[in-house]
């Protein structure tokens, strides 16, 4: 529960951060050090869960998702492209946000993605700062890789997430890199860099010195709370931003504070600046409840409109993935036994508790690969698909989508850039359970390796808007596979997985006559139509929603400008996954942290000369 607030209007802070997720924790940490004379309030709807083994133990990540103690349990509406399945979207219900419940893998965007966003979606004043070269330090600053080079003396006092590679490379992980070398692509280094093709072993957000999860709360907010100028208040769900009745001299809304209800009473806490970090679903909802958004959406919710900004809640994107599994020889160690034998997880947990070793001490996925379209097809087939993309971009009449599709088009045309990020799981995987008979067991006998293709830059777009009933969660529509190019590209990546399975490395590991998954199509893929048929019933989310408060020019449907300030406002920013205008190729958390680092740079520059409304 939160501390009992003072009387309405009695509290005042320099900054109020709404939400204590990944970006907010980092921003609070940096402000606490760089602006020690400024007071920062962090408001979080969840709780600060400390010293919880379920959160700390890397191998217990599965206990967190869909558990109401840790997860807000968002869900989409029925998705037509996925045979009307509702897709569950876990979001962290604790300080640290989703960084405290995710699956640890650290995958970076590429230089080209940043450069194209800066060049094609932002105004002139933001292009240099948001280019790849302008962002390089931001991607370095938030993490400390345990096996990497030491940080420089002037940065060694910064709070950082601890990342690490696997302690040992097992059989499947070593075979992963060999398989891509058989396709003619050498193993590459990981990190924020130019695009390259091939397999990589990535780090996970695991502190190897403790064998514990390293997340935003432990890395950033807890050290900040000890410095004395950051206050955390939990159990507080923000209703809306309170604006002055009068506009500023240049016609903008001036936020005077945050309004929330606690124990039946309404409170307003005032601040010089509001920074929304409430996440991809809640940041746009707060703006809409505050009167900033689409005229149609606000009218339906009976909210008076203060500033018409139709991009709020639009442009929702996510990484859709689909995987195939093949049965391996029994002597190849996988993690399938843990699914079938309840004693195995108990033994693994006991080993972890006694020595901090074993599978519970590491994340689930370290083996990734960046796979471009040119790896998938013959030259003529590649040309045909590129022509289809070109026609799509030229025919698009929506200026925002045309600009975004142009960014994606260039990635597709590049022989170096991933059209899917592919990764390996050392276990069987089932995503078609809803389409199997009710008595179908959850798991099948045997050991399996699963290869998953995650569509890097989907063309499909969805939305997230407040409901007419304020007590309900927002209406979330992803519209998965609503754009035909997503089906065309992702299906081709399933064919690439089949090619991997047919190469010597995988055939040597595969059990002769062994089973194939998904159970709804237990055969090798022999055609593009086979692959397309699997997608609606076996695709799943990578839990990477973003885009609902996009950083783009306002005429393109943007919600925040290149300083992350909400259009039409003087002193309201957004910084979380919602500001990513085009989803990056891999796990989005690295970009969220880097964007938060850039936000701090901007805020501190402005603070040195006083708050600015320019």
As annotated, the binding site includes 98, 238
Element (H, E) at 143: strand 143-145
The rounded distance, in Å, linking the Cα atoms of 159 and 157 is: 7
569, two tokens: 């406002």
Output the CA torsion sign for 407, 422, 77, 18.
negative
The rounded distance, in Å, linking the Cα atoms of 526 and 51 is: 50
Identify any residues that bridge with 275 across adjacent strands, giving them in sequence order: 17, 573
Q: What 8-state DSSP symbol labels residue 79? A: B
The rounded distance, in Å, linking the Cα atoms of 39 and 32 is: 8
Beta-carbon contacts of residue 23 (< 8 Å; ≥ 6 apart): 216, 277, 575, 576, 577, 592, 593, 595, 596, 599
CA 200 to chain centre: 19
The rounded distance, in Å, linking the Cα atoms of 98 and 101 is: 5
Backbone phi and psi for residue 280, each to the nearest 5 degrees, phi listed first: -65, -25
464, two tokens: 């997230």
The rounded distance, in Å, linking the Cα atoms of 578 and 19 is: 13
Three-state SS string across 218-275, please? HHHHHHHHCCCCEEEEECCCEEEEEECCCCCCCCCECEEEEEEEECCEEEEEEEEEEE
Tell me the binding residues for FAD. Answer: 98, 238
Q: Is 17 helix (H, G, I), strand (E, B) or coil?
A: strand
Three-state SS string across 146-186, please? CCCCCCCHHHCCCCCEEEECCCCCCHHHHHHHHHHHHCCCC
Count other Cβ atoms within 10 Å, centred on residue 140: 19
Identify any residues that bridge with 316 across adjacent strands, giving them in sequence order: 462
Output the CA torsion sign for 483, 484, 489, 494.
positive
Q: What is the largest CA-CA distance in the chain?
A: 76
Q: Is 298 helix (H, G, I), strand (E, B) or coil?
A: helix
The rounded distance, in Å, linking the Cα atoms of 153 and 405 is: 42
The rounded distance, in Å, linking the Cα atoms of 274 and 598 is: 16
């Amino acid at each position: 529960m939160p501390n009992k607030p003072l009387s309405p209007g009695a509290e005042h802070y320099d900054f109020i951060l709404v939400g204590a997720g990944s970006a907010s924790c980092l921003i609070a940490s940096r402000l606490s050090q760089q602006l020690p004379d400024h007071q920062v309030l962090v408001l979080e709807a969840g709780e600060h869960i400390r010293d919880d083994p379920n959160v700390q133990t890397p191998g217990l990540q599965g206990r967190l998702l869909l558990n109401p103690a840790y997860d807000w349990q968002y869900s989409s509406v029925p998705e037509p492209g996925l045979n009307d399945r509702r897709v569950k979207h876990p979001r962290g219900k604790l300080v640290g946000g989703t960084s405290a419940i995710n699956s640890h893998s650290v995958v970076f965007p590429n230089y080209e993605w940043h450069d194209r966003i800066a060049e094609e979606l932002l105004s002139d004043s933001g292009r240099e700062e948001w280019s790849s070269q302008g962002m390089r330090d931001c991607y370095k600053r938030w993490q400390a890789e345990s096996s990497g080079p030491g940080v420089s003396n002037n940065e060694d006092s910064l709070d950082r997430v601890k990342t690490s590679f696997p302690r040992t490379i097992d059989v499947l992980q070593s075979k992963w890199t060999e398989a891509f070398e058989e396709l003619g692509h050498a193993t590459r280094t990981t990190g924020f860099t130019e695009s390259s093709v091939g397999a990589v072993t990535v780090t996970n957000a695991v502190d190897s010195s403790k064998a514990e999860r390293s997340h935003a709360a432990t890395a950033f907010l807890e050290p900040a709370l000890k410095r004395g100028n950051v206050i955390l208040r939990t159990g507080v769900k923000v209703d809306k931003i309170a604006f002055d009745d009068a506009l500023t001299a240049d016609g903008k809304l001036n936020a005077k504070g945050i309004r929330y209800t606690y124990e039946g009473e309404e409170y307003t806490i005032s601040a010089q600046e509001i920074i929304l970090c409430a996440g991809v679903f809640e940041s746009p909802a707060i703006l809409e409840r505050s009167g900033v958004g689409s005229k149609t959406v606000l009218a339906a919710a009976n909210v008076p409109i203060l500033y018409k900004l139709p991009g709020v809640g639009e442009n929702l994107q996510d990484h859709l993935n689909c995987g195939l599994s093949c049965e391996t020889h029994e002597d190849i160690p996988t993690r399938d036994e843990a699914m079938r034998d309840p004693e195995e997880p108990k033994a693994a947990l006991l080993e972890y508790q006694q020595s901090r070793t074993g599978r519970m001490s590491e994340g689930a996925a370290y083996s990734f690969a960046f796979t471009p379209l040119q790896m998938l097809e013959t030259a003529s087939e590649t040309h045909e698909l590129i022509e289809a993309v070109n026609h799509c971009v030229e025919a698009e009449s929506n200026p925002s989508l045309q600009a975004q599709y142009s960014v994606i088009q260039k990635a597709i045309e590049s022989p170096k850039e991933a059209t899917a990020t592919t990764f390996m799981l050392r276990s069987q995987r089932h995503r078609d359970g809803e389409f199997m008979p009710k008595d179908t067991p959850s798991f099948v006998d045997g050991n399996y390796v699963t290869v998953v293709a995650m569509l890097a830059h989907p063309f499909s777009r969805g939305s997230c808007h407040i409901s007419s009933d304020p007590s309900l969660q927002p209406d979330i529509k992803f519209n998965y596979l609503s754009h035909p190019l997503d089906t065309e590209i992702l299906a081709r990546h399933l064919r690439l997985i089949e090619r991997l399975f047919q190469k010597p490395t995988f055939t040597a590991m595969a059990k002769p006559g062994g089973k194939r998954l998904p159970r709804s199509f237990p055969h090798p893929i022999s055609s593009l139509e086979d692959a397309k048929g699997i997608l609606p019933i076996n695709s799943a989310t990578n839990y990477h929603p973003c885009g609902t408060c996009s950083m783009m020019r306002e005429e393109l449907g943007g919600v925040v400008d290149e300083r992350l300030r909400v259009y039409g406002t003087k002193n309201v920013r957004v910084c979380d996954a919602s500001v990513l205008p085009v989803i990056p190729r891999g796990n989005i958390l690295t970009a969220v942290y880097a964007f938060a680092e850039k936000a701090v740079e901007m805020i501190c520059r402005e603070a040195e000369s006083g708050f600015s409304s320019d």
